[in-house]
């Protein structure tokens, strides 16, 4: 399930929803982002981590609290956890855990690790907050809109943006918390892209790209999509169907986006 690999980074991709897990190696640490989904996939990621860890410290970053992204927290109980303040203060923790339990029940899945909502050791409270490791700096930005508790992580020396559920090539924006926030987060993504000279983008679902032109294009496409929600044309669904291979499975999310965009002014 290894989808992309360079000197310092390995990106795994699940068979489910092309969900990514990222592993970054540096001299004093291993950083794991959103380990997921199926038991054999988690097992593969876990053995990879065990093989390379040595005496280094294991960090676990969660890009947001959707259940598919926190599903394997319990497989890495000793890791030092990083997530946003809204993630740490999520009022619906039990609901996220219940979604994992329901998913596993539906597909007769058993796991050899406990299911729980991760406790956060380092809470990201503001844009530009950093974690300085020996040879690597992580810079964090809050990224609400898809969910309230989204987090962008920039690996400075590698000019890499770990975007969570934004800037995917396989899905249009899913707005689960706020249209206005989503629009602002895409502005922020564009500013980050320039400020940190990003050349590698890892989305939460879909394909890694190492082409700045494609990153710029994905930011633009998200913005265009958000604009189209505010003033939808008759042919919009057909356009999306042509663009996204799995559109039929996402149609409801698009229709919900249209409703949320319409109420945009009333959502904080």
Within 14-164, strands assigned E span 20-25, 29-33, 57-61, 80-84, 122-124, 129-132, 137-142, 151-155, 160-164
Segment lying near Zn ion (by CB under 5 A), choices 62-70, 79-87, 131-139, 143-151 = 62-70
Segment lying near Zn ion (by CB under 5 A), choices 39-47, 66-74, 81-89, 206-214 = 66-74
Going by C-beta distance under 8 Å and a sequence separation of 6 or more, which residues neighbour residue 215? 161, 167, 193, 198, 199, 201, 209
For Zn ion, the closer CB: 28 or 95: 95
Q: What is the closest distance, in whole angstroms, from the C-beta atom of residue 50 to Zn ion in the complex?
A: 26
**What SS3 state is found at 207?**
coil
Q: What is the closest distance, in whole angstroms, from the C-beta atom of residue 236 to Zn ion in the complex?
A: 23
Segment lying near Zn ion (by CB under 5 A), choices 94-102, 132-140, 165-173, 260-268 = 165-173
Residue in this structure with the two tokens 């409703």, named with its chain if needed: 259
Q: What is the closest distance, in whole angstroms, from the C-beta atom of residue 122 to Zn ion in the complex?
A: 22
Nearest residue (beta carbon) to Zn ion: 165
Binding mask 173-212 for Zn ion (x = CB under 5 A): -------------------------------x--------
Q: Are 236 and 228 in contact (CB under 8 A)?
A: yes
Kindly report the backbone phi and psi dihedral angles of residue 20, in degrees, each rounded to the nearest multiple of 5, phi listed first: -100, 150
Q: Does 165 bind Zn ion (CB under 5 A)?
A: yes
Number of neighbours of residue 196 by Cβ within 10 angstroms = 17
For Zn ion, the closer CB: 66 or 149: 66
Q: What is the closest distance, in whole angstroms, from the C-beta atom of residue 35 to Zn ion in the complex?
A: 13
**What SS3 state is found at 224?**
helix
Question: What does the binding site for Zn ion look like in residue numbers (CB under 5 A)?
Answer: 66, 68, 165, 204
């Amino acid at each position: 399930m290894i989808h992309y690999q360079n000197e310092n980074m390995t990106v795994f991709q699940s068979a489910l929803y092309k969900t990514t897990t990222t592993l970054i190696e540096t001299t004093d640490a291993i950083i794991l982002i959103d380990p997921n989904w199926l038991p054999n996939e988690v097992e593969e990621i876990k053995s990879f981590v065990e093989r390379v860890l040595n005496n280094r410290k294991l960090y676990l970053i969660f890009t947001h609290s959707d259940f598919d992204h926190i599903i394997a927290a319990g497989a890495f109980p000793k890791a030092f956890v990083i997530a946003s303040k809204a993630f740490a203060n999520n009022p619906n923790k039990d609901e996220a855990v219940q979604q994992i339990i329901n998913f596993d029940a539906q597909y007769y899945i058993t796991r050899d690790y406990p299911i729980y909502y991760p406790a956060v050791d380092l809470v990201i409270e503001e844009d530009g907050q950093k974690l300085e490791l020996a040879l690597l700096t992580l810079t964090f930005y809050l990224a609400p809109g898809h969910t309230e508790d989204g987090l962008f992580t920039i690996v400075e020396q590698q000019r890499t943006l770990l975007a969570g559920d934004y800037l995917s090539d396989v899905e249009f924006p899913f707005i689960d918390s706020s249209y206005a926030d989503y629009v602002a987060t895409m502005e922020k993504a564009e500013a980050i892209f320039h400020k940190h000279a990003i050349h590698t983008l890892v989305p939460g679902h879909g394909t890694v790209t190492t082409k700045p032109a494609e990153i710029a294009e994905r930011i633009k496409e998200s913005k265009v999509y958000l604009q189209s929600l505010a003033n939808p044309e008759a042919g919009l669904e057909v356009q999306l169907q042509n663009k996204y291979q799995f559109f039929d499975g996402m149609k409801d999310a698009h229709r919900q986006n249209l409703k949320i965009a319409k109420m945009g002014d009333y959502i904080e």
